[in-house]
Structure 1
């Protein structure tokens, strides 16, 4: 058993400022010399970029369905052994989804702090805080932080609305690196926040948020305060359950990683290494050829923002073509699949050619085209993951009907048809984003490894 202070930060809904508060907290404590580990509840590729920049440490997912309770417990225990405090960012609203962030907190004994956008309310702030605390019995409630308060006077009104004054953790005024800007501190585009790596002043933005948070009761708490109020006992996992057979021993897996392909769970890279693979990275935007490899992973990202550069890299396309012609496996997820297609029609109607190795064309829409948990049945194994995309693919390529839109236990929506997996030569491609650790054997099969 390892004891460490931990806090799950949630909200009544999306858009309340959870990511900014979590990143600000991580940055504030990291600047003070503390070792901070941040986790993200549910599938997400973008928020973790900001948390990693703030904390200087890898950020992993916690999800009772996709990653599983045992995996979540193991990762938290490992983090607790090496850090001073743990932060977990919730997903959507506190009780949204099944299982929800509240379910995760209750199952793992994590204290919960609410973040409420109070920019257009007064006494209702207290009602929301009370509801968040009491709606689901058994939650370990830590308190509430008001976000985007208009003034110190407004903050006083919000504080006075709470039934339990001890749950007031402060008010964060609206923070911006440009006082005259209307946009928030962390800018957004389709799919979510702009990645931290894309903004040269990303760390300055986090420092500004951390400075603002330092003036709140939450920001002024010492590590001893955290330990006294929010310590959690994290049990050691079953060591035998973590063993992964070396089904990719001796094989090299090349992974695309740059501004166009950045939707990569660090845990997926860890899983490939645990399977025995040698992982090498390359940039489809900058490199002229694939590195020597036995298999290739093209993860998701924003190929639509870099389509012209990708298409212009003819030598890289030829290298990809040679890889496929040699029968070497390719697993392409979401944006990786789009990049392999003949071309993409952008939201403004402009058409841009792409690599043309997968028959079919993609179309980018202004509205979400796919969202939710998914699982892939693959050669007797089940690989869990999710889908989240704004584009669609029209292709006459053979589709393997092995991906299902699935609802976790007790969810309101019933399972149904999910994303297609397209097969073209040695290419397997889908909008499905896989969580590799859910079935290492299935991953080994995708990358041409030995069978368990």
Structure 2
């Protein structure tokens, strides 16, 4: 016998109201509405835990501020079903409401938002920008709701609805089993600020976001259709019988005990999965943060992580912080482990040309030049295939690199035979455009930070 979400009925299962926000496509308003709901129910005294599907860094920052709770990614391909199930179960034990924001369209990707919702029995609300259509919005919602019989759809959220007459046309065209949950008017005051890689980082516009969240709560309250303002139905979340990580040896679980990992974190470097920090700490590492923009030297550490971010927006300041550059160069020359991802890799190169075509010297611990290239870029799920093992992750960048060394390997694309992003290793440095998801392979991650099994392609730097 099974519960609604496909899990074996378990006496230890926990029930919690849950709703999955999806859409027919990107740019329909999912993040804005998810943030507004999180803040609305938080104001009601509820503990709201929000999750974001796919490897997104920026939306979780916004949603964490809106909900005043940590926000983590849920992705079956990148992390596995057991990992996702455990995260939902742990959240259900402490939350009054779980919200999950989907990615792209409802059925896009493999696995898709619909796959995740179906696997865990979470009802979906379809967010749709209805500008320029009326009854057609109902037809599209009905098509999405009936495309698969294993997906539960709670109703339609009509975003950017022009008037009550507009809402009435949509409402009357929907069947009884697919209600109109909310009709939200067009309002520029609640739109979240964006830039070339997505939303602006929450820390940069914290006060502005607070104003927009408050406006968004009032925006929600104005709807005549109030189904969105009541808690959704409860979903049963069962504990994982045997987490895959439970099979990891004690040696791996304690592999980073006594090691300190310095992590770059400021306006230039902030694309950091909370799950990655949790993974490092679970293996015994001490994590310390520093700012390549503002600090003069690295903290005392055994290994260094330069994550992605926006170095192209701060290239001048990064270049002018000569003492920090010298500190990291010395760290590299000492053969200590460094992981440089995407923006971190750009910082590691000899120079970087920013969005204004101005070239600045960077660290120079990896041969090559980096340059921004406007709106063209690369994105997608990939597995890093390296001597330490295989670690899943993704690429998302609008820059290019040139004159780099021979790579030690390439990313393996999720659904395409062409080689993915190049991966470089020399001395203790591992650099790539790939953003790695550490929980997908803790043993390989530990080896990266311990400097084990490196293929040193160049000892000349």
TM-score by length of 2: 0.91
- Residue 321 (structure 1) aligned with residue 329 (structure 2): yes
Contact 1:176 1:208 in 2 (8 A): no
- Residue 207 (structure 1) aligned with residue 219 (structure 2): no
Name the CA distance, whole Å, in 2 between partners of 1:13 and 1:373. 19
Q: Which runs of 5+ in 2 are unaligned?
A: 1-12, 454-461
Contact 2:336 2:451 in 1 (8 A): no
Secondary structure class of the residue paired with 1:58: coil
Name the CA distance, whole Å, in 1 between partners of 2:362 and 2:405. 17
Q: 432, 435, 439: which is aligned to 2:434?
A: 432
- Aligned-pair distance for 1:318? 0.9
Deviations along 1:323-372, whole A, 9 cap, x unmatched? 11111100000000001112222344322222222211111111332111
Contact 1:24 1:213 in 2 (8 A): yes
Name the CA distance, whole Å, in 1 between partners of 2:149 and 2:227. 28
Name the CA distance, whole Å, in 1 between partners of 2:93 and 2:124. 21
Deviations along 1:164-217, whole A, 9 cap, x unmatched? 37511011112233xxxxxx7112111111112111311111111121112334
The 1:210–1:350 alpha-carbon spacing in structure 2 relative to 1, beyond 3 Å, is same
- Residue 365 (structure 1) aligned with residue 377 (structure 2): no
The 1:425–1:242 alpha-carbon spacing in structure 2 relative to 1, beyond 3 Å, is closer
Contact 2:182 2:228 in 1 (8 A): no
Name the CA distance, whole Å, in 1 between partners of 2:113 and 2:325. 42
Deviations along 1:311-331, whole A, 9 cap, x unmatched? 111111111011111111000
Equivalent runs, 1:237-386 vs 2, <5 Å: 237-238=240-241, 241-243=244-246, 245-379=253-387, 381-386=389-394
- Residue 171 (structure 1) aligned with residue 183 (structure 2): yes
Name the CA distance, whole Å, in 2 between partners of 1:89 and 1:315. 42
Name the CA distance, whole Å, in 2 between partners of 1:219 and 1:286. 48
Q: 51, 54, 59: which is aligned to 1:39?
A: 51
- Residue 395 (structure 1) aligned with residue 403 (structure 2): yes
- Aligned-pair distance for 1:65? 0.5
Secondary structure class of the residue paired with 1:420: strand
Q: 35, 55, 76: which is aligned to 2:88?
A: 76
Aligned to 2:425: 423
- Aligned-pair distance for 1:153? 2.4
Name the CA distance, whole Å, in 1 between partners of 2:348 and 2:168. 55
Equivalent runs, 1:14-33 vs 2, <5 Å: 14-33=26-45
Aligned to 2:74: 62
TM-score by length of 1: 0.92
Secondary structure class of the residue paired with 2:350: strand
Q: 406, 410, 414: which is aligned to 2:414?
A: 406
Aligned residues: 434
Q: 217, 233, 253: which is aligned to 2:236?
A: 233
RMSD: 1.7
Name the CA distance, whole Å, in 2 between partners of 1:132 and 1:35. 30
- Aligned-pair distance for 1:91? 0.4
